[in-house]
Amino acid sequence: MQSRETNEEFAREQENANKGWETCYGAALKARLKWIDQMLMEGTDEAHEKLLAFFADEKEIAPYGNRSNAMIEMIVIMDIYKAEVEMGEAHTIFDRKIEGRRMGETELTAYMRAFRFLMWRLEFTKEADAGEKLIQFLKENQVSPVFLCKAVNTMASDEFSMLCEIMELTLEAKMFRHTYWLLLKMQRLAPGEESIRQMIEGLKAYVTG
Instruction: Give pLDDT, residue 20.
Output: 64
pLDDT for residue 10 is more than 70? no
pLDDT for residue 17 is more than 70? no
What whole-number distance in Å separates Cα of residue 78 and Cα of residue 23?
Answer: 27
Give the pLDDT confidence of 84-99 residue by residue, as tens digits.
999 999 899 999 888 8
Q: Supply the DSSP symbol for 100.
A: T
How does 21-50 read in b/e, with b if 16+ C-beta sit within 10 Å?
eeeeeeeebeebbeebbebbeeeeeebbeb
Instruction: Give pLDDT, residue 14.
Output: 58
The pTM score is 0.84
What is the chain's Cα-based Rg?
Answer: 20
- The pLDDT-based confidence of 62 (bands split at 50, 70, 90) is confident
Amino acid at 83: A
Mean pLDDT for the stretch of residues 13-29: 69
pLDDT for residue 28 is more than 60? yes
pLDDT for residue 119 is more than 90? yes
Mean pLDDT for the stretch of residues 165-172: 97
Neighbouring CB atoms inside 10 A of 154's CB total 15
Q: Torsion over CA of 163, 166, 171 and 176, rounded to 10 degrees?
A: -70
In this predicted structure, which of 47-56, 58-67, 90-99 has the lowest mean pLDDT?
58-67
Contacts of 154 (CB under 8 A, 6+ apart): 76, 79
What whole-number distance in Å separates Cα of residue 177 and Cα of residue 144?
Answer: 9
In this predicted structure, which of 16-20, 99-103, 158-162 has the lowest mean pLDDT?
16-20
Give the pLDDT confidence of 144-168 residue by residue, as tens digits.
999 999 999 999 999 999 999 999 9
Instruction: Give pLDDT, residue 126.
Output: 79
In this predicted structure, which of 5-19, 101-115, 124-138 has the lowest mean pLDDT?
5-19
Mean pLDDT for the stretch of residues 69-89: 93
pLDDT for residue 15 is more than 80? no
Mean pLDDT for the stretch of residues 179-194: 95
Instruction: Give pLDDT, residue 18.
Output: 64
